[in-house]
Amino acid sequence: MARRHSTQEREDRREAFLDAAVAVVRREGHGASMEAMAREAGVTKPILYRVFGDRDGLLHALGARFAAELSVELDRSLSGPADPGGDTFVDPREVLRSSIDAYLGLVDRDPELYRFLTARLAADPSQPIASMADQFARSIAVVLGEQLRSIGADSGAAEPWAYALVGMVHLSGDWWVTRRLISREALVNYLVQLVWDGLAALVPVETDAP
């Protein structure tokens, strides 16, 4: 009688299959096939389906892993540096910069996986990368709300601003990972400048004639 795998063994096997899928996507690009992923894992395609349910199940698992990695990066960027007195000081401009950079950093480190997942998102908005963007927006909204309240401003703007910011960063990231016309640092700087200073900053300041 075949030995039953323990829960830990099944989880380890599942993670190994995901590692194989990621390796194929990195090597072959966002058009990587399930057949290639199965070969990389040393199994047949039906076994992959047995573990993940179907192709969408595998894509969901890959998206969830990517989302978890972004969550860790966002937690770091949103925590803020501690001051000498032990309190946490959050510089809102630095939070903005580090959050945008955290998102683009994952895109930069795994561009093919990012394109693979976002291509599936276009076809199915329920994919985990969509919830990842939602999580990103909600995390930014918390910090924005705190900063707005601290200066006596209307904190109701925090959530729509956060979602607008995520949409901007997501689409800019798609453009950047495809074109690579500027550096990641330059893109972060441009986005921070737009959000922080606004388009009004581009208008020359009029001065009185001498």
CATH number for the domain including 106?
1.10.357.10
**pLDDT (tens digit per residue) in 176-200:** 988 899 999 999 999 999 988 887 7
Question: Are 128 and 43 found together in one domain?
Answer: no
Question: Are 142 and 39 found together in one domain?
Answer: no
**pLDDT (tens digit per residue) in 50-64:** 888 887 788 888 888
- What Rg value do the Cα atoms of the chain yield, rounded? 21
CATH number for the domain including 17?
1.10.10.60
Question: Are 98 and 113 found together in one domain?
Answer: yes
Q: Which residue has the higher pLDDT, 173 or 203?
A: 173
Structural domain including 37 reads 1-53
